[in-house]
Amino acid sequence: MSHQHRYIVVEGPIGVGKTSLARKLAKTFGHDLLLEKAEDNPFLAQFYQNQRQYALSTQLFFLMQRTQQVQTFRQIDLFQNAHIADFLIDKDRLFAELTLSSDELGLYQQIFTHLTIDAPRPDLVIYLQAPVDTLRERIVKRGINYEQQIKDDFLQRLSESYTRYFYDYDDSALLTVNTQSTDLINNAGDYQALIDEIDEIRSGRHYFNQSSFLD
């Protein structure tokens, strides 16, 4: 199945369902899949135990990892290989601003600017939203050990950071999706409605709030 959007990014806070949706969209559109690999970060489990001590090492590892992925992606002919990713490179700064001290953040920003100056721009960003209690339920359900230590306060601040970031986002077409009352993975009607919405998007900001409970 061909599709007008050659580079789609699915984004949102921890537990919102980015990877599951990215996998499903990639299968539907026949696009290659570009996934962040949090499990490869050797500092992440320690970060959730002691954020202050491991914040900088965790963020720098993610930054280098994602930059390498995007640079590899840039070498691919977009006319031959379309992609769907479950991360936007700019997300690193959102996490950095939440977890790093002012001195660490200054160092991080210098490195970020140097490494991501040529990062490709998506054709479409799908921003998934959900309240903290829904994020918590999903984190518990998927059962990743280190994630169970994430505090609700951190999830709240992270969600607010995403909201502020996408409030002014205009680098590409943006589709904001309310996932609290929408089951994009298990409800075929909800998922098809999302596909139909994506097919209509050319530019600008759009909102999707299909409710499976209204079927």
Task: Give pLDDT tens digits for 71-87.
Answer: 777 666 555 678 899 99
Band of pLDDT at residue 36, cut at 50, 70 and 90: confident
- List, for residues 100-129, the tens digit of each pLDDT value: 999 999 999 999 888 866 778 899 999 999
- List, for residues 185-201, the tens digit of each pLDDT value: 999 999 999 999 999 99
Catalytic residue among 32, 40, 77, 86: 86
pTM for this predicted structure = 0.91
Q: What's the pLDDT at 210? A: 66
Decide if 86 is catalytic: yes
Band of pLDDT at residue 135, cut at 50, 70 and 90: very high
Residue 45 has pLDDT above 70, yes or no: yes
Residue 19 has pLDDT above 80, yes or no: yes
Band of pLDDT at residue 23, cut at 50, 70 and 90: very high
Residues in the chain: 215
Task: Report the percent of the chain where pLDDT is more than 70.
Answer: 91
For all residues of the chain together, what is the average pLDDT? 88
- List, for residues 146-163, the tens digit of each pLDDT value: 888 899 999 999 999 999
Name the superfamily (CATH) of residues 7-214.
Answer: P-loop containing nucleotide triphosphate hydrolases (3.40.50.300)
- The domain limits of the chain are 7-214
